Structure 1
Amino acid sequence: MSTYPNTKNTIGTIQELVTIPSPSGNTETVISYVENALKETGYEMGRNRKGGLIVTIPGKDSSKHRMLTAHVDTLGAMVKEIKSNGRLKLSMIGGFRWNAVEGEYCEIETASGKKFSGTILMHQTSVHVYKDAGEAKRDEKNIEVRIDEVVWNQEEVRALGIEVGDFVSFDPRVEVTDSGFIKSRHLDDKASVGILLELIKNVSQEGIELPYTTHFLISNNEEIGYGGNSNIPSETVEYLAVDMGAIGDGQSTDEYTVSICAKDSSGPYHYAFRQHLVDLAKSNEIQYKVDIYPYYGSDASAAIRAGHDIIHGLIGAGIDASHAYERTHETSLYHTEKLLYHYIQSEMVE
């Protein structure tokens, strides 16, 4: 008897994924990890020119296709300037707030592949020196990286090999609690990537024949707006982004159910598709919430903007504190996996 969904396996996969640095623009290592993890399935795999990975499972009907996507790129930064005192100024990759990474450990990766640790701090951190330590604005002018090397000036930093344009990634600090929570940076969207990896493996191991040819795109530019907007086969009818459900005041999404998005900043998602996902949840005892994310965009909305004639939808596990130190619960992962399992075996929306 199949034990899928097995959230213990999924959480283990997510733990491995979040520990691989992959800010948008520097995702080769994590894409290779995903590729290697799926080799035993024997499914056709290939990369697009942007570096994303496309996995294809043949279905009974090859005239109509489905595509599911999750993104493996994360928030991060680049070295913007090497200061005269040997510290680094940063330029953001993705949409977050500087206060969300203040005090975080980070890693600087040079063009030659060398890696150095550091800490993201306010210039005015010491309350014993700076009267405005608490009030100073958290912005690119005041935030800097303290490198864990003996350096006093620009020249000594450059002697390490660090230069403008080097990628900076944030320490995920992943932890799994006895109460079933996984908390970490970059659950957006490595939680979904972990879910899709386990789903694809299960289809292979159980020998499940899907009703339609189904593609899985592990995209690598979503955080900067264009991860899943290309390489969509012309036969594709349904396009489902698997991303996070955003939690906060006024939201119905929580950490214990699968979130089905009705609308985000791009506008409404396809109504009949959304209702199909709701019906699948109801008929398979899947706990779900329908929600609207006011400041959000997905690979599916990027695909629509690019002009693809598709039916688009968005679901995901509920993630607390998005774009900061995030958290979800194993039950949310479970219900998301279960909905995807039933969706890929369902009939298409008419």
Structure 2
Amino acid sequence: MYIEMNEIVEKLAGLLKIPSPTGDTSAAIDFVGNLFRELGIKTVLTGKGALIATIPGNDTSKSVTLSGHVDTLGAMVKEIKDNGRLKLSQLGGYIMSTVEGEHVQISTLDGKKYTGTLIITKASSHVHGDETRTLDRTTSNMEVRLDEVVSNREDVESLGIQVGDFVSFDPRVVVTPSGFIKSRHLDDKAGVIAIYGIAKQIINEGLSPKFTTHFFISNYEEVGHGASAAIPDDTFEFIAVDMAAPGEGQTSDEFSVTICAKDSTGPYDLELRKRLVELCKANNIRYKMDIYPYYGSDGSAALRSGYDLKVGLIGPGVDASHSFERTHRDAIEETIKLGVAYLTEK
């Protein structure tokens, strides 16, 4: 199977550069929707703004759903401080030290965009000495320094910035000659672009899925309820396509598709996992098996919401998850291969 990975990586870089913190994802949803529609695939939006693209299958009596999430870690303005700086409230589970010094963008309700930098409140070691080094990196001790001439709350409010405005982190996307993609928010934009790659491969090769196939692009996964509703009613199997997490004690790597056996919510479906492993072996797909003790997925959300489904989880290995992440194009390619085999092989 030949997959045009240069085009896939190019589309991934474009998606990564679109700010989409949980709750402010419409631009990224539009981007992905356009990718599907360019393939001739019909799309619809759910009530809370998720995207569903559908390819009819040979058997239309029931369907399978593959899900990835386009929402990312981010923040909201919690407070405009007297010194003209911003205190934040987190969106998603990340350690504040991993975003210290990051460039940010603030999006106001009236569509204005402002930039700034997230720093600790005592950032200068020349002023604060050892306190700069020892200060706890928490939301209480960190603030956004705006790139505007402001010195108090009134100055900031005059710009149109207010509590509740969304804050996104600069992804700093880099694609290396050796095939690595370095960026924030590969969780789960690498998974979303793999789903697009699966759909593109099916369309371009003239393949027919065994069952009608829905591609569900969720937009609230980072806060736990991404695929908790609106999964098509005739779905009997659900595959979450989300990042795998390499690290100490894990088998995942940045070059393979990982099949997750269990995460913090419990085991994924055994029969479905066996079938995914058999497909990897039969098609020479590089794969790993892993367990994630501090992890949940859209599959977890679907099960918690009471859906009666077989649920599996696959995805490309992403190093340093919820920090400054990295994956390799090979991991995305192997994920695409497994997705195509799962949907089309008898």
Structure 1, unaligned stretches of length 5 or more? none
Identity of aligned residues (%): 52
C-alpha distance in 2, partners of 1:44/1:175? 32
8 A contact 1:176–1:182 mirrored in 2: yes
8 A contact 1:240–1:315 mirrored in 2: yes
C-alpha distance in 2, partners of 1:168/1:280? 41
Say whether 1:335 aligns with 2:316: no
Q: Which residue number in structure 1 is paired with residue 246 of structure 2?
A: 247
Q: Which residue number in structure 2 is paired with residue 64 of structure 1?
A: 62
Matching residue within 109, 112, 126 for 1:111: 109
Shift in Å, 1:45: 1.1
C-alpha distance in 2, partners of 1:234/1:80? 38
C-alpha distance in 2, partners of 1:341/1:134? 49
Shift in Å, 1:48: 0.3
Structure 2, unaligned stretches of length 5 or more? none
C-alpha distance in 1, partners of 2:126/2:320? 31
C-alpha distance in 2, partners of 1:250/1:83? 43
Shift in Å, 1:233: 2.4
Say whether 1:89 aligns with 2:51: no
Shift in Å, 1:62: 1.1
Q: Which residue number in structure 1 is paired with residue 272 of structure 2?
A: 273
Matching residue within 4, 8, 18 for 1:6: 4
8 A contact 2:201–2:340 mirrored in 1: no
8 A contact 1:6–1:334 mirrored in 2: no
Q: Post-superposition, which runs of at least 4 consecutive aligned residues in structure 1 deviate over 6 A?
A: none
Q: Over residues 293-327 of structure 1, what are the superposed CA-to-partner deviations in whole Å (9 max), with x where a residue is unaligned?
A: 01000000110000000000001000000011100
Say whether 1:156 aligns with 2:155: yes
Shift in Å, 1:144: 0.5
In the superposition, the TM-score normalised over structure 2's length comes to: 0.98
Say whether 1:182 aligns with 2:174: no
Shift in Å, 1:143: 0.8
8 A contact 2:55–2:213 mirrored in 1: yes
C-alpha distance in 1, partners of 2:38/2:206? 13
8 A contact 2:256–2:317 mirrored in 1: yes
C-alpha distance in 1, partners of 2:29/2:190? 15
Equivalence map 1:128-139=2 (5 Å): 128-131=126-129, 132-139=131-138
Q: Which residue number in structure 2 is paired with residue 227 of structure 1?
A: 226
Aligned Cα RMSD in Å? 1.0
State the secondary structure of the residue aligned to 1:134: helix
Q: Residue type matched to 2:215 in 1? A: F
Shift in Å, 1:333: 1.3
Q: Residue type matched to 1:247 in 2? A: P
Say whether 1:289 aligns with 2:279: no
Equivalence map 1:182-201=2 (5 Å): 182-201=181-200
Shift in Å, 1:39: 1.6
Shift in Å, 1:211: 1.1
In the superposition, the TM-score normalised over structure 1's length comes to: 0.97
